[in-house]
Amino acid sequence: MVHIDTILQRVSSRILGRTVSTTDRSKFVWRLPQRTNFPSLFASEKVPQNTRDVSHMLLALEPPDDNHKVWDNNYEAVFIHRPFDLHLRAFRNSYILWSHDDFDNNMTVGYNPALAADLQLLQPLEEVLWTNKRGVERRIGMVGRLDSPHAFGAYRRQVEDIFEGSDASKANSVPHVRKVAVMGAFNPSLLHRMKSEHDVDLYITGQVRPAALEVAKELNIAVIAVGHERCEAYGLRSLASSLTAHWDDSVQSEAMSELEVDILLSSKLTAVRSTHVQTT
């Protein structure tokens, strides 16, 4: 088993890139969380105060349709990406962690060093900043190089293996890929920036935007749009890998424990996938 505080630290470290205080873990909140508040840790009133260990955890994109059937699995902890239809009192024996905006920004397409490694992009990565209508600047993507030119078709298959498919891909007269932009948005303005500032060969993003596809064709930038839900599913799988990786020296007391993590990629229980990893 793994202590709930360690779970919280591992989740926050992976999503935020830093650990957070656990001083509020015992303050149980009876309202749905606001989108900007992460990390949040909730506990049902039925969770005993002395119960802190987790052996079976669920990672889900959203609350499942059949709440009672899923929770018969006795998950001690749950991470939910979109918790906005979640009824906390229905989950009587579980700690609930959630993240919406930070998960989208840091675990899917965008500035995501773990994804860059999967895509075989070399360090250092160039971060792409974007300012929204409220004047707030944030990282929206990254640009990286491959160690050698890759044929577009072969590299597209690698990307689709990582995301388990794609919604659209266009070579746009680009025979080989060397410089890649991975972006959390897809619009004409960003495409022009990627061409003028970085001279990218390939633009990887989530959701397809027809107007942006036309601009990419004009600029001779290849595009792979993997799809919004595939991005989120990749993020859950990456989080599961972090949770089931070998624990570091700071948690040796939990060595040789087993943490089982299930991944729910849709609202149906049949979509659950299990992985059993020995943590040492």
pLDDT in tens, 225-238: 999 999 999 999 99
* Cα 7 from chain centroid (whole Å): 16
pLDDT in tens, 113-153: 999 999 999 999 999 999 878 888 889 999 999 999 999 99
pLDDT score at 37: 41
Residue 86 has pLDDT above 80, yes or no: no
To the nearest 10 degrees (0 to 180), the angle between helices 4-16 and 228-244 is 130
With cut-offs at 50, 70 and 90, classify the pLDDT of residue 28: very low
With cut-offs at 50, 70 and 90, classify the pLDDT of residue 267: low
Radius of gyration of the chain (CA): 20
With cut-offs at 50, 70 and 90, classify the pLDDT of residue 246: low
Across 75-79, 85-89, 267-271, which has the greatest mean pLDDT?
A: 75-79
With cut-offs at 50, 70 and 90, classify the pLDDT of residue 24: very low
Extract the tokens encoding 100: 């919406």
pLDDT score at 247: 53
Extract the tokens encoding 171: 């070579």
The C-alpha atoms of residue 135 and residue 173 are separated, in whole angstroms, by 36
**Which CA distances in Å does 61 have to 16, 20, 66?**
18, 23, 14
**Which of 98, 57, 50 lies closest to 74, judged by CA?**
57
The C-alpha atoms of residue 237 and residue 163 are separated, in whole angstroms, by 10
Residue 209 has pLDDT above 70, yes or no: yes
Q: 232's torsion region: left (phi>0), alpha (psi -120 to 50) or beta?
A: alpha
Residue 47 has pLDDT above 60, yes or no: no
pLDDT in tens, 142-191: 999 999 999 999 999 999 999 999 999 999 999 999 999 999 999 999 99
pLDDT score at 34: 45
Extract the tokens encoding 111: 């500035």
Average pLDDT of the chain is 79
pLDDT score at 14: 87
